[in-house]
Structures are given as structure tokens and as C-alpha cells.
Amino acid sequence: MAKDNGKIAIVSGANRGLGLETCRELATLGYRVVLSARSLESAQAAVAELERGDSLRIEPATLDVSSEASIASFAEHARAELPRVDVLVNNAGISMQGFDERVVRGTLGTNFFGALRLTEALRPRLSDTANIVMVSSGMGELSSVTRELRTRFSNPALTLPELVGLANAFIEDVAAGRHSARGWPSSAYRVSKICLNALTRIWARDLPAGMRINAICPGWVRTDLGGPGATRSLAQGVKGIVWAATLTAGGPSGGFFRDGKPIAW
């Protein structure tokens, strides 16, 4: 068994791909890891896969970040079972086919609002030196929106209510068929990651000084989401996530990184 380092990590959307490999890496480093998935059966199967041949401290949990009720139930579980949370990896994410109001609501509901609500629900359990990792994407760069929107998203004084307003405005503009005229791309995934990156900067400004939060682009990774033609292995994609999850005092906060190196917003 890996030597227990006394720290606890939660990973969302962790029954496969980047989330699963992140759990493996953190457990190997001695973390007690909560592997969460939308169904308990999926989480249990993933834990069994990781424990095959290894003795790691990984436990399954049910968490659907698109459901406020599921987040509330998971937060209550964390309150009862975990003394604190040292690492939160917001990994759960989807990329839906097509582009319409349903796709936009579903994509932002998981990729942005899911990470927002989960982090808020777990805030009381986060340790004073916690690392929060937002698994983002280079597709969330601001270059895909108009100058006016770039200015609003990159405003150093942007507030959380204003950011939520921007996300909801995108949904409403798509529903009304005016999103292009308002400067939005025809990609729910891109906008969800732009919002996630902006959220990272807001919280880096507002969180207690000892905590760190960073957005991580794993690159184009060979997962179910990335597809078999992707250029990076799981090990390459997870490297930056684990780096951000294991930062210590003096480490960066509020940045956008790939492989531990800053990249453009």
C-alpha cells in the first residue's frame, strides 16, 4: 500500500479517462481518494479496476454534478465521512452532439454550473491549504468570442453574479437564435470552458490566502471524449492535473496551465 500522506482528495467524473487516472496517481502518492461517478455501480467498478493488483486508498461515491440534489447529498456524505478535503478535482465534463438550447443547457449545466455548485457545496469542508483543480480546455480561450465579451470575461473585477449572468445570457441568446449577433461562438463546450476559466480567476481572488485554485488544460487526450485520434496519452494529460492537485505553499493560484506551464486565456 502507498504510504498514507494524511491528505484527502475528491475527483468528480472519475470512473474513466482522466478522472480515473487522476485517482490512480493521487492514491499512489498516498492520498485517500474519493472516486465519484454518476452511479454507485460505475464508481465501484472503477475502484475495483484500480485496486486490481494494487493496494490503494480509494473509495467510491455517487455524484452527478448536473443534479443539485445529488451535489447536496454528496456534500452531506463528505460532511459525515471526511474530516476535511485537501484536494478537489472538478473533472466531470461532457461534450454533446449538435448545437441548440438543450445542448447548451446540458453542457453548461455540467461543465460550468456543476463545478460551481460542487465547489460551493464543499467549501465548508476544504482545508485551509486546499488545492482546487478545474479541468478545462484550450478551447476555452477567449479568442473565440468578440472583443466586447472578452473584455467582460477578463475584467479583473468580474463578480460571480456577473459571470453567472453571462452564462445565462448565452443560453438565452441561443434559445432566441441571436447568439452569433451577440458575439458568441456556436459551441456550448467552448463557452462552458470560458466560464470555468473565468470562475477560476474570480475564486483565486476571493478564496482565503492559503488555498490555491487553477484551471488545467490536459491537451487533446485519448479518452472517450477526446477520441482515439487524440495526440496525447492519459499519462501526459493527467500530469498537469496532478501537478495542480499537489501544489504546496507558494504555488500559483488563478492561472491557466498545461503541463505545469502557463498558457493564454
Radius of gyration (C-alpha) of the chain in whole angstroms: 18
Closest by CA to 143, choosing from 3, 265, 17, is: 265
Give the DSSP H or E segment for 195: helix 188-206
Strand locations in 85-243 (E): 85-90, 126-135, 212-216
User: How far is residue 94's CA from residue 1's CA, in Å, rounded to a whole number?
Assistant: 33
The one-letter code for the residue type at 251 is G
| Active-site annotation holds for 189 | yes
Q: Which candidate in 112, 170, 184, 189 is catalytic?
A: 189
Which residue reads 473565440 in cell numbers? 144
User: How far is residue 96's CA from residue 61's CA, in Å, rounded to a whole number?
Assistant: 24
User: How far is residue 46's CA from residue 90's CA, in Å, rounded to a whole number?
Assistant: 17
Q: Which residues are catalytic?
A: 189
